[in-house]
């Protein structure tokens, strides 16, 4: 009993560090399940790349991004499993809770997948994959409701800013799992070198959902501060970073991909699952906590209430 009373204040202190412009650890359970969050300071950068090869990411734009935290690693199965098991987990008492940011009622968890969605590639400290964009967004809402701290998917601009164009000129095999060094599967997070912010696997390993809907003409717009392309459609959504199955030459901070209904091609359900893709073992996600407060309307947009 004496040990528990001694540790409890330390546990709260770790949670409260997130109010400052420092890296912090979002503790989730008292048995050491947590998410390391890295602070990214506000700044300006050149988003996209001026090239004749693709108008998908050109012309480039000067963009300003506000401060935020982003997870050091891609969300792993260990963490995502809590969301999958939330019905039973809510009955436990070992969840770290803070003041609720919103009263969220009726937030359901993913349906049980009918096959092993890791496809045998590993789960302990491996990136979670095959979830839909909707599911990744709802994970963020669920995590927010449980911890009391607001989380969401990164915008496309936040993701590219945090990735840093420095990575485009480095020896990519040192920083990213790709088709030539991955043994044809994703790998445990954090084994490759981090980028300048201390983030691992921003390129390669698994590609990552962003909050934005895909717009092929978006770079023709003049977008100045915190750009975000919202939309109501299930497809297409922007995917960034490339994966273990990509050519190393295609792993660039500015490269963009997007989701299509082909990600659920082998789903036998009618209608297709809201929660699971059957053909996306290369797509996962990481999470963001903005430093500045966001409106309830914007939160709901990020949490996919428009779908």
Please tell me the least confidently modeled range out of 5-9, 51-55, 289-293: 5-9
pLDDT, one tens digit per residue, over 249-266 is 999 999 999 999 999 999
Domain extent, residue 203, equals 2-302
Residue 307 lies in a domain: no
Res 134: pLDDT: 95
Res 32: pLDDT: 81
pLDDT averaged over every residue in the chain? 87
The number of domains in the chain is 1
CATH of the domain at 256: 3.90.1580.10
Residue 294 lies in a domain: yes
Residue 226 lies in a domain: yes
Residue 65 β-bridge partners: 43
The beta strand positions in the chain, using DSSP E, are 24-27, 34-40, 43-47, 61-65, 68-71, 207-213, 237-240, 256-258, 283-284, 288-290
Distances (CA, A) of 125 to 15, 76, 105, 110: 22, 6, 30, 20
Percent of the chain with pLDDT over 70: 86
User: Looking at residues 119-128, what average pLDDT do you find?
Assistant: 96
Residue 206 lies in a domain: yes
pLDDT at 92 over 80: no
Structure tokens at 53: 């090869």
Residue 209 lies in a domain: yes
Q: What is the DSSP string of 56-112?
A: SS-S-EEEEE--EEEESSPPBHHHHHHHHTHHHHTT-S-B-----SS---S---PPP
pLDDT at 49 over 80: yes
Res 106: pLDDT: 52
């Amino acid at each position: 009993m004496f040990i528990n009373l001694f540790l409890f204040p330390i546990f709260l202190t770790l949670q409260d560090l997130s109010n400052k412009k420092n890296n912090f650890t979002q503790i989730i359970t008292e048995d050491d399940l947590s998410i390391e969050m890295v602070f990214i300071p506000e700044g300006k950068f050149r988003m996209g790349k001026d090239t004749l090869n693709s108008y998908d990411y050109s012309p480039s734009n000067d963009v300003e991004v506000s401060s935020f935290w982003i997870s050091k690693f891609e969300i792993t199965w260990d963490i995502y499993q809590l969301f999958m098991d939330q019905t039973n987990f809510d009955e436990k008492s070992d969840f770290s809770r803070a003041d609720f940011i919103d009263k969220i009622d009726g937030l359901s968890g993913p349906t049980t997948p009918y096959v092993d969605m890791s496809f045998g590639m590993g789960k302990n400290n491996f990136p979670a994959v095959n979830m839909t964009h909707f599911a990744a967004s709802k994970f963020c809402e669920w995590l927010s409701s449980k911890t009391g701290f607001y989380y969401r998917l990164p915008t496309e601009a936040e993701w590219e800013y945090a990735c840093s164009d420095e990575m485009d000129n480095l020896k990519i095999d040192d920083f990213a799992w790709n088709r030539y060094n991955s043994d044809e599967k994703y790998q445990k997070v954090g084994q490759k070198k981090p980028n300048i912010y201390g983030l691992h696997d921003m390129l390669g390993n698994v590609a990552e959902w962003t909050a934005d809907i895909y717009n092929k003409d978006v770079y023709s717009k003049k977008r100045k501060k915190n750009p975000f392309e919202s939309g109501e459609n299930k497809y297409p959504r922007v995917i960034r970073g490339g994966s273990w199955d990509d050519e190393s030459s295609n792993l660039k901070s500015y490269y963009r991909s997007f989701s299509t209904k082909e990600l659920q091609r082998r789903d036998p359900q009618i209608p297709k699952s809201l929660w699971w893709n059957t053909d996306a073992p290369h797509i996962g996600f990481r999470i963001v906590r903005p430093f500045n407060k966001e409106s309830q309307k914007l939160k709901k947009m990020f949490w996919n209430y428009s779908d």
